Amino acid sequence: MMYILESDWKVLRRLKPLALERFCERTLAECVQVATGSGDSAHERYLTLYRLVHERDKELARAFNNLRRSSAINALISMTNLDLLTASELAEFSDETRGIVQRVLEPRS
């Protein structure tokens, strides 16, 4: 288990509401697009919307639920992987923490 530095913990706690708001706004926009899309039946749109919300709920849980210092690095990795933090926000974290996040996410590039 890896604990985040106290200074980074404070940054993450401050940025969490912003990242959560971005996640929810993005998800709601996706839901509107699915719900109002044309070409599919209402039932097909409903099923697509259900699957989308279920998947986004899992992503939300990984990034935001039960945030503690012991789980903060994993939450930050999830938030970063979901592109919920700007470059300037990420720059507020220590070199050590940014390095850990970068090493974990590097293979996705």
Query: CB burial class (10 A; 0-12, 13-18, 19+) of residue 19?
Result: buried
Q: What is the pLDDT of residues 32-82, one digit of tens each?
A: 999 998 888 999 999 999 999 999 999 999 999 999 999 999 999 999 999
Q: Measure the CA–CA gap between 104 and 66, rounded to whole angstroms.
A: 21
- For the four alpha carbons of 56, 4, 16 and 84, in that order, the dihedral sign comes to negative
pLDDT score at 2? 74
Give the start-to-end residue ranges of the domains of the chain: 6-108
Say if residue 107's pLDDT is above 90: no
Note the pTM of the prediction, 2 decimals: 0.90
